[in-house]
Amino acid sequence: MLPDMANPAPVTLVVGDEEFLVDRAVGSIVSAVRGTDPEAEVHDLVGGKVEIGELTRLASPSLFEDRSVVVIRSAQDLQKDVIAEIVKYTAHPADDTVLILAHPGGVKGKALVEGVKKAGAEVVTVAKPTKPGERLDFIKAEVRRHGRTIAPAAAQALLDAVGSDLRELAAACGQLAFDTSGKNIDEAAVARYHRGRAEVTGFAISDLAVEGRLGEALEQLRWAVATGVAPVLIVSALAGGLRSLAKVGGAPRNLRGAQLAGHVGMPPWKIDRVKRQLSGWGPEGISIAMQAVASADEQVKGAGTDPAYALERAVQVIAASRTGR
Amino acid sequence: MSVFGDLVGQERAVAVLQKAAAAAADAVAGGRGTGMTHAWLFTGPPGSGRSNAARAFAAALLCPDQGCGHCDACHQVDVGSHPDVTWVRPEGLSYSAKQTRDLVLKGAGAPTLGRWRIVLFEDADRATEAAANALLKAIEEPPPRTVWLLCAPSPDDMIITIRSRCRVVTLRTPSTEAVVNVLMTRDDVPPDTALFAARAAQGHIGRARRLALDEEVRRRREDVLSIPKSLSGVGDCITAAERLVKTSTADADAATTALNEVETTELRQVYGEGSSGKGLNKGLVRGGAGALKELETMQKSRATRIKRDSLDLALLDLVAFYRDVLAVQFGAQVELANEDRRHEVETLARNSSPVDTLRRTDAIMLCRERLAANVNPQIAVEAMALALRDPNLV
């Protein structure tokens, strides 16, 4: 829900812990006020430093009847007495002042949230996108803000290349909209400015390695190491991949569906994938690969000098242990 | 019974200690005290009773009758409440230099009851190198009435500068007969159970006693020893590894959860939580959060250590099993630790070669090394289980 641009409420509470979205919500209200009155004064305060009476002072009518905007960030750190003052103010707001409170949600400073809600403040909730799909939606909406559209594949490529930080994504979208022409932003346009991967999970590497796609696995591994994924996480993902192979491969043949899922302790969709990966793997291969992973874990924990080498070696042994039979 | 009566099969060490105690009594009485020294290092394999020997010696030093076993001093040392004995049991993975400096300070005081001030340092091998160096200063120039009793599995576990300043008391692995005898006379264990426990524990008296008295410990050992024959497929290896690691985690949880909670609550109270009254701060006072964090780190280190120790115990049972297999393969006339599983041992001995057995033993030892090097326990044990299944792949 976005605030009403033309006529901002006298008191707005922005709830959410994604700094970028909070900034944007606050910024939109501020610019709405500035739209009607370019001279409006903005007071940007931080919760922990607001003193008693400060709000009253800032909100009291000035000699020249200017409008003013008071923004209080990190409102969870406000003192008890200040909260009481704000709640009281919310019930009877000043005409010329727009108050914006930013609260990250959570229990701290709950009295403020409940108090101003009851007193009639406008509440804006900004939700942090957590799923990949939501991030793609964010990219699309972002591009649309600039009056453009983006192809789904291009959005995915951008997400892969930039990572999941919203501020960076928004900046990348703005830059793309500025740099490219035409209505639609396509994959080629994204590829011209962005390449590579910002985020690689150990699981992706593990899947590629056990499927025997050595080249791709090594490429992803280097990306992961270069972008600072902890080697320990990669090792444990590799071990996890092999463990699944051993579990599903070693399960009694007559188990199916839910029974099998219960036996190996994995969800059915994962079992299906592991079953596909199992082709080409025998017990010897799994044993050899697991030894390599164990020694890689030892290496990255300090027994070796170069974690990146230890990981590459492990990935190579894993891919080579798959005989392809 | 004298305080030395608890030391099973350690006649030579006891003679040395008794002589030193007599010399110490002479020194207290104003004599020259020849034969007494200020720093002792008790070494011996796990379970040989290093800390018991040190405790007995401490009692003998503090008792007016050189360890009668029934006076106040002996009793206080026995229950750990004697004011002149500082008892150090490192609970975490290591013992830091900072802790050691505090210890040195404590050890520097004069004895309150007039005989000796004793610092009994169990598992002194857990001291880090920096800690050992801090300790060295105190051992090098000791106050006249302070006695340091350090315990470590082997003299090599201590840095050489400490070793050279200590008198070493070497304890041996007690014989099976001696352990059986103790179990039967002291704990009223039936003869066959005592024999089984003494063999299975291979001279570790504490472990033998737990095996003889605790059904759960016996069951745990059965579980571990059933692993070798259960490893037919790779899936089984993973499952066995998972079970082993889970059991050790459960051990750590059982030992620490309640303790952690009590410690945390106490610390929070110390820092003023729950205080009532006008003008008092309801929450933690300054410094509380830091102290809590320190406590948490300590608790985590302790849990890791318990987990590792528990896993190590299981691995040692496995090593003993393969050692028996090797003994049968070579036709060595030695007592089997797993006499109760002779049939299984002989079957495996027939179906594999001595090379296989040695490789398997190596795999277990490698796993122990990896655990000590902080490798993820599950990965280390999985690799070991897979190597036990097919030793030629390692």
At A185-206, the pLDDT tens digits run 888 888 888 776 667 788 888 9
Average pLDDT over residues A10-27: 87
- A239 to B378: CB separation less than 8 angstroms, yes or no: yes
| Mode of pairing for the β-strands spanning B39-43 and A97-103 | unpaired
Instruction: Check residue A1 and give its pLDDT.
Output: 42
Instruction: Check residue A123 and give its pLDDT.
Output: 87
d(CA A57, CA A89): 12
- A301 to B375: CB separation less than 8 angstroms, yes or no: yes
Q: Hey, which residues does B151 pair with through a beta bridge?
A: B42
Q: Report yes or no: A322 and A280 within 8 Å, Cβ to Cβ.
A: yes
Whether the CB of B382 is below 8 Å from some CB of chain A: the reply is yes
Instruction: Check residue A21 and give its pLDDT.
Output: 87
d(CA B359, CA B393): 10
pLDDT above 80: residue A3: no
d(CA B301, CA B371): 14
Instruction: Check residue A324 and give its pLDDT.
Output: 57
Interface test with A, best of B376, B381, B389, B394 (most A CBs within 10 A): B376
Listed residue (A64, A39, A119, A134) closest to A86, CA to CA:
A119
Q: Report yes or no: B211 and B197 within 8 Å, Cβ to Cβ.
A: yes
Cα angle A302, B365, B330 (rounded to 5 degrees) comes to 155
Interface test with B, best of A298, A300, A301 (most B CBs within 10 A): A298
Residues of B whose CB is below 8 A from A239:
376, 378-379, 382
d(CA B232, CA A70): 72
List residues of A whose CB lies inside 8 A of any B CB. Answer: 232, 235-236, 239, 243, 246-251, 264, 283-284, 286-288, 290-291, 293-295, 297-298, 301-303
d(CA B322, CA B314): 13
Interface test with B, best of A233, A286, A288, A293 (most B CBs within 10 A): A286
Q: How far is A170 from chain B (nearest CA, A)?
A: 38
Q: Report yes or no: B18 and B4 within 8 Å, Cβ to Cβ.
A: yes
Q: What is the CA radius of gyration of chain A?
A: 27
Nearest beta carbon to residue A243 from set B380, B382, B387: B382
d(CA B70, CA B1): 8
- Which two tokens mark A157? 């490529």
Q: Report yes or no: A242 and A210 within 8 Å, Cβ to Cβ.
A: yes
Burial classification of residue A258, based on how many CB atoms lie within 10 Å of its CB (0-12 exposed, 13-18 middle, 19 or more buried): exposed
Instruction: Check residue B394 and give its pLDDT.
Output: 62
d(CA B233, CA B69): 56
Nearest beta carbon to residue B394 from set A247, A291, A303: A291
Does the interface predicted TM-score (ipTM) exceed 0.85? no
Nearest beta carbon to residue A246 from set B237, B373, B378: B237
If you count residue pairs, one on A and one on B, with CB atoms under 8 Å apart, how many are there?
79
Provide the 10 A C-beta neighbour count for residue B336.
20
d(CA B379, CA B371): 10
Residues of B whose CB is below 8 A from A295:
383
The 8 Å CB, 24+ separation contacts for B158-161 are B158/B41, B158/B124, B158/B125, B158/B132, B159/B129, B159/B132, B159/B133, B161/B133, B161/B136
pLDDT-derived band at A315, boundaries 50, 70, 90: very high
Q: How far is A56 from chain B (nearest CA, A)?
A: 29
Whether the CB of B297 is below 8 Å from some CB of chain A: the reply is no
Q: How far is A285 from chain B (nearest CA, A)?
A: 9
d(CA B181, CA A189): 85
| Mode of pairing for the β-strands spanning A149-150 and A184-185 | parallel
Low-confidence stretches of chain B (pLDDT beneath 70): 1, 277-284, 394
Instruction: Check residue B280 and give its pLDDT.
Output: 62
d(CA B58, CA A9): 79
Q: Is B272 left (phi over 0), alpha (psi -120 to 50) or beta?
A: left
Residues of B whose CB is below 8 A from A287:
234, 237, 386-387, 389-390, 393
pTM: 0.69
Position A96, amino acid? D
Q: How far is A186 from chain B (nearest CA, A)?
A: 44
Nearest CA in chain B to A233: B376
Whether the CB of B358 is below 8 Å from some CB of chain A: the reply is no
Whether the CB of B230 is below 8 Å from some CB of chain A: the reply is no
Nearest beta carbon to residue A290 from set B370, B374, B386: B386
DSSP 8-state symbol, A53: T
- Which two tokens mark B282? 């309801």
3-state DSSP of B69-94: CCCHHHHHHHHCCCCCEEEECCCCCC
Q: Report yes or no: B130 and B98 within 8 Å, Cβ to Cβ.
A: no
Residue A290: φ, ψ to 5°: -65, -40
- Tokens 């070696």, located at residue: A313
Average pLDDT over residues A178-184: 83
Average pLDDT over residues A162-166: 81
Instruction: Check residue A279 and give its pLDDT.
Output: 84
Provide the 10 A C-beta neighbour count for residue A181.
7
d(CA A256, CA B345): 36
DSSP 8-state symbol, B111: P
Distances (CA, A) of A122 to A19, A98, A101, A109, A116: 19, 11, 10, 17, 9
Whether the CB of B283 is below 8 Å from some CB of chain A: the reply is no
d(CA A247, CA A188): 42
Q: How far is A213 from chain B (nearest CA, A)?
A: 23
DSSP 8-state symbol, A121: -
Instruction: Check residue B70 and give its pLDDT.
Output: 85
| Mode of pairing for the β-strands spanning A68-73 and B39-43 | unpaired
Mean pLDDT, rounded, of chain A:
84
Residues of A whose CB is below 8 A from B372:
none
